[in-house]
Structure 1
């Protein structure tokens, strides 16, 4: 039976009874489909519905073939081993019994003698170290555990795989391994991701919005081209709709003014008494009737035009990428913002991770710190900002700086977004505060949310708004993996803001597309331990 997933008239509500999908129809075949959409549109929920972990309120999900699932995070039990995660513990134990001469008839009948070689091949394909099956999972890094979970899918060879943000927290090598797996995958795949490099490996893109789902044939680049055309068409439609509303308002006003002039002329004739009263009264009744009909007609036409404009505006709001405008830092091009000389250090004093590192950032340079997981990228940022004391060497930051780490610890989780902004930007008044937060999608009451209640993406937006959104942004902005928890729309908004930012940037990121789009000046690559 060919692999397929069909969703018909699917309706689902969140546990707090908020509608997520209503009458959703979708079909997935034996190809690689990227599932994208802003945070909160239900991408992960849709995968869980397909996997059977959740049940729809209405509608049906039909599936032909076998299914494999990779969750966003791989949970680790203290007692779990490599063999447990790969799902091969029983198979390897069976082979061990047969090799020791104590296997049963059932063991002989069910033995898969190719299993050890298939394990080796799966680990190789995902650039993982060959390890004994009883190696504890806790000894692998988070990124390695994600790749091990992918290796388990390779071993089982399901007809359809569901991957939820498979490249999150992976370094460049890990991301390349996941992309390579999908490039060679011959079954079906549904991949939730904001990794644009990975989405370039897709055969189709499905976008979830508040309006429903839409399928685009082709990969991320094809989707982007189509989206740009749709945005242009939607903006054109909105301009026409709004122009029609304006024309109706002008015509209605002209009609009112003409009627008023006629009514005035009739009143003057009545006052002069040069027309029979019965005729004047008839004309007055007719004028009032005409005026009422004109008003009703104008009201109906305006309501219809306003409704059309509202629908057109909703389309533009869905399609329009977020945009961010920033105040200038006025940073001179020749000023040394950061000077690092012979820096050595790490969390453990006698075991330095960073050794004898020297570099500088001059003017509005944009510098990326890259390297494999474990190379010390976050440690370097902690040394630069004074959170860790160096063993040797010196760091000098000339001017104001702000660090947004992966937990956005700059913000007080007990305060609202508005209060955090005011605390970090004491010279900005309430109007400036609200305007800055609105540029980062925290409008009106949204700015009064407590930071501790925000999602990861919302928290980063709040952190960016509070650091670079004010009237005096810092000369140096330091970002540690800023795109990990953002959807593509939010990433593009951050990119737009950082393109407008005229200060210096120091960024730790594995997201190649992000680094390219913010105008990277140069790269400092740290080696593996």
Structure 2
């Protein structure tokens, strides 16, 4: 019997009572499944329920086969080594003693002589050339993620559960994870916003406020199906809209006819031409008919309204978000950033950037790329003045904007509106509201504290505060803008940046994102 995971009527609510998952019925076989959806739809929650780390409020999980879960971020324990991830510390220590001639005959009989080779192959499978004895704390976050993934694969589970496995990985790390999953032949459930990784999936499951929808095929096939569904949903919305309007028209006509009949009855009564007993019977009949017609009209209106609401919800789920950036008016050829013979970093004796000559002119779109640790974020800090160079000069256009990974320009303790007013103290209340509304923060949404927002909402709020002022920046500097965003948010930012007429300087390992925003030049930093 093939390994399988079956979810029946799974529901789960946050501690404050907010419903996150409701009535989820899904089954997973020995195929690779991408789990997608907007932030807050419960993707990580669902993985933890499948893994048994979280109990559902209702429903059950039936798992046939072994399961291994890779979490988004796990800190290394003191003294923990790479070998500990594989459960191989004692086995490798035994092989080392045997090699030195210090193992007993009994130990030699129990030794796993292929262990070191198999651990090494698992590490190289994710692009790591490291010793199993290396402390985990000595590895970068991306290297730790890859080492943990190698250990999961080494255990040969029936199902891999991976939560954003390529987050914070450099290009090499992303490619190694894609290669590993492309060759994986057991079951895998992968939460990811990495569209390149999702291309090697066999199926896509989308979580939304409407529940879970299963789409066979990889990411490209899913996108095609979504486009067809969106067109169908828009058609249904238009039909439902017409039905509501037609129902309102019929109700108005019925009310007008009744008013005319009632008026005619009053005139006949006033003329005295109809016997009182017949008038009473006519009144009763009219009231009964009118009541029945009113109930029928009310039922039809309710059905039409329900259909309209359902159609509208469907369109809202399928309709991509949109971000529109106003024009900066940056002239072609104007120098917006010039770095001449720049050397800088955090310790003068160990500079990160050495003798860099670099310039941005006009509406260029430049990607700063390179492996983790090569100094990409340091370069941005030098460019925007957050870090002073040890030598050399930096000149940057007045009115540039810099959004780092955490969008630290925003105060998390106050609302989006309060942040906007702090950054644009001369703006009127109407101007503040209008600027935020263009970025889909309307009415009470503008009053939400920044700390309560998702990653995509925080980036959108940062863009609103930057581009909502009287003078949009001619240079926008972004450091890993797609980290922790859902795909809908990434695509909305892509559309906005593609239409932006200013200069872009972007650090990102997401090649799909860089391609979609029209990068024209790259600054590749070497490994240090």
**Which TM bucket (shorter chain)?**
over 0.9
| Contact 2:324–2:439 (CA under 8 A) maintained in structure 1 | no
Gaps of 5+ in 1: none
Partner of residue 31, structure 2: 31
Partner of residue 448, structure 2: 449
3-state SS, counterpart of residue 170 of structure 1: coil
Partner of residue 428, structure 1: 427
Name whichever of 290-299 and 219-228 sits farther off.
290-299
The 5 A counterparts of 1:135-174 are 135-174=134-173
| Contact 2:344–2:388 (CA under 8 A) maintained in structure 1 | yes
Partner of residue 308, structure 1: 307
RMSD (Å) for aligned C-alpha atoms = 2.3
| CA deviation after TM superposition for structure 1 residue 237, in Å | 0.3
**Pair 1:9-2:9 in alignment:** yes
What are the superposed Cα offsets for residues 160-215 of structure 1, whole Å, 9 maximum, x if unpaired?
Answer: 11111000000111100100111111211111101001100111111111221111
3-state SS, counterpart of residue 135 of structure 1: coil
Partner of residue 70, structure 1: 70
| Contact 1:327–1:470 (CA under 8 A) maintained in structure 2 | no
Name whichever of 13-22 and 34-43 sits farther off.
13-22
| CA deviation after TM superposition for structure 1 residue 313, in Å | 0.9
Partner of residue 47, structure 1: 47
| Contact 1:342–1:392 (CA under 8 A) maintained in structure 2 | yes
The 5 A counterparts of 1:79-478 are 79-104=79-104, 107-131=107-131, 133-268=132-267, 283=282, 286-470=285-469, 472-478=471-477
Whole-Å separation in 1 of the counterparts to 2:258 and 2:209: 45
| CA deviation after TM superposition for structure 1 residue 241, in Å | 0.3
3-state SS, counterpart of residue 246 of structure 2: helix
Whole-Å separation in 2 of the counterparts to 1:291 and 1:427: 60
Name whichever of 273-282 and 64-73 sits farther off.
273-282
Whole-Å separation in 1 of the counterparts to 2:499 and 2:425: 23
3-state SS, counterpart of residue 176 of structure 1: helix
TM (norm. structure 1) is 0.93
Whole-Å separation in 2 of the counterparts to 1:301 and 1:13: 34
| CA deviation after TM superposition for structure 1 residue 274, in Å | 6.1
Count of aligned pairs between the two proteins: 528
Whole-Å separation in 1 of the counterparts to 2:264 and 2:57: 66
Whole-Å separation in 1 of the counterparts to 2:294 and 2:57: 46
Partner of residue 519, structure 1: 518
| Contact 1:20–1:42 (CA under 8 A) maintained in structure 2 | yes
| CA deviation after TM superposition for structure 1 residue 154, in Å | 2.9
| Contact 1:327–1:471 (CA under 8 A) maintained in structure 2 | no
Name whichever of 85-94 and 282-291 sits farther off.
282-291
| Contact 1:10–1:23 (CA under 8 A) maintained in structure 2 | yes
Whole-Å separation in 1 of the counterparts to 2:101 and 2:240: 81
Whole-Å separation in 2 of the counterparts to 1:334 and 1:455: 37
Name whichever of 434-443 and 303-312 sits farther off.
434-443
- Rate the CA distance shift 1:105–1:7 in 2: closer, same or farther, 3 A: farther
What are the superposed Cα offsets for residues 425-480 of structure 1, whole Å, 9 maximum, x if unpaired?
Answer: 33433334334434444343332232234443432232222222445422211110
- Rate the CA distance shift 1:301–1:150 in 2: closer, same or farther, 3 A: same
Whole-Å separation in 2 of the counterparts to 1:415 and 1:184: 47
Whole-Å separation in 1 of the counterparts to 2:313 and 2:444: 21
| Contact 1:208–1:214 (CA under 8 A) maintained in structure 2 | yes
- Rate the CA distance shift 1:101–1:375 in 2: closer, same or farther, 3 A: closer
- Rate the CA distance shift 1:446–1:106 in 2: closer, same or farther, 3 A: farther
Whole-Å separation in 2 of the counterparts to 1:31 and 1:522: 38
What are the superposed Cα offsets for residues 465-508 of structure 1, whole Å, 9 maximum, x if unpaired?
Answer: 22224454222111100110111111112122223332221111
Whole-Å separation in 2 of the counterparts to 1:308 and 1:288: 30
